[in-house]
Amino acid sequence: MTAADAGSWQAEDEEPRGPVGKAFRLSAADSLSLGNAICGFLAVCVLASSAIQSLKAGGDFTPAPSYFATAVVLLLIGATCDLFDGLVARRFRASAMGAELDNLADVISFGFAPAFMVVIWGGFTDKVPFAAVVAAAAAVLVAGVVRLARFACVKTKSGDFMGLPIPMGAMTVISIVMLFQPSPYSLLAVLGVAWLMVSRIEYPKPKGQLAAVVLGWIMINVAFLTFWVAWPEGGDLPIKIGATMQIALVAAIPLRVLFYKREQRREAERIGS
């Protein structure tokens, strides 16, 4: 390498990519993204605390429902922040690093946090091998990361999401954890959610009335979970209903897409004949 080459390489490496001063200014949307990341971090801390407290007591670890419910409330609050950060960015202004902050926060709250929840849920039981639990959790994390990377690079013609959005994928994984005991079948369901996140199935974007419905759905789930944490003797029927509806919703959309494509093929064959 010549001196000129070395100098040019150093100059290119040190050259700023954008307005450095503005890059350090956080917008209101960035604050929501950071709030999302903090909620994901706190959810992991709550789950870790449940295991630490149980192990300190010297007994076998059994995940307490209240810890899971608290973690889910935090993730739902993070999902609310994630829902509004884009709206706030469009309404006011977005910083130079807004999109990157959003994706990094999503990795924490909707990739790592649910994957860690799967480990806490299934890692302390003899019903399934620990390696299988870790594999399922890793699949959730990897699928979420790939899903976010693809979202940044690929745009669909319809403007909808390609693959299950990572917040909805995280909520579906959590619903499986809340509804079922660890077993090979429930781990397969977790892997199925991971596959949906990286699939080519298109999911509608929450816009307008749909966004209001999604926000209402999140608020209802937060209310149910808060009630469950405060009064566990009241029963977990609302949680089971909400989790079942979440799984049914995620499963129904791919089925609807398959039926729609089948109808399109039949219509094309009828016109062609």
Residue 59's pLDDT is what?
61
What confidence tier does 41 reach under pLDDT thresholds 50, 70, 90?
very high
**DSSP secondary structure letter of residue 108:** I
Residues 2-30: tens digit of each pLDDT: 444 444 444 444 444 545 455 567 777 78
Which residues, at least 6 apart from 93, have a Cβ–Cβ distance to it below 8 Å?
A: 27, 29
DSSP code per residue over 37-67: HHHHHHHHHHHHHHHHHHHHHTS-----HHH
169 in Cβ contact with 110 (< 8 Å)? yes
CA 25 to chain centre: 27
Q: Tens digits of per-residue pLDDT, 107-122?
A: 999 999 999 999 998 8
Looking at residue 61, its pLDDT comes to 67
**pLDDT value at residue 231:** 64
Mean pLDDT of the chain: 76
Q: What is the pTM of this model?
A: 0.76
State the pLDDT at residue 117. 92
Task: Report whether 43 contacts 105 (CB < 8 A).
Answer: no
Q: What is the pLDDT of residues 83-105, one digit of tens each?
A: 777 777 777 776 777 778 888 99
Domains of the chain: 21-272 (1.20.120)
Q: Is residue 82 a contact partner of residue 102, using CB atoms and an 8 Å limit?
A: yes
The per-residue pLDDT for range 227-239, each reduced to its tens digit, is 666 665 555 666 6
User: What would the pLDDT profile of 179-191 be if each residue is shown by its tens digit?
Assistant: 888 999 999 999 9
User: Has residue 138 got a pLDDT over 90?
Assistant: yes
Q: Which of 21-25, 44-48, 241-245 has the lowest mean pLDDT?
A: 21-25
pLDDT at 53: 76
Selection from 74, 73, 80 nearest residue 33 by Cα:
80
Helix ranges, 58-208 (H): 65-91, 98-106, 113-122, 130-153, 166-179, 184-198
Residue 208, pLDDT above cutoff 70: no
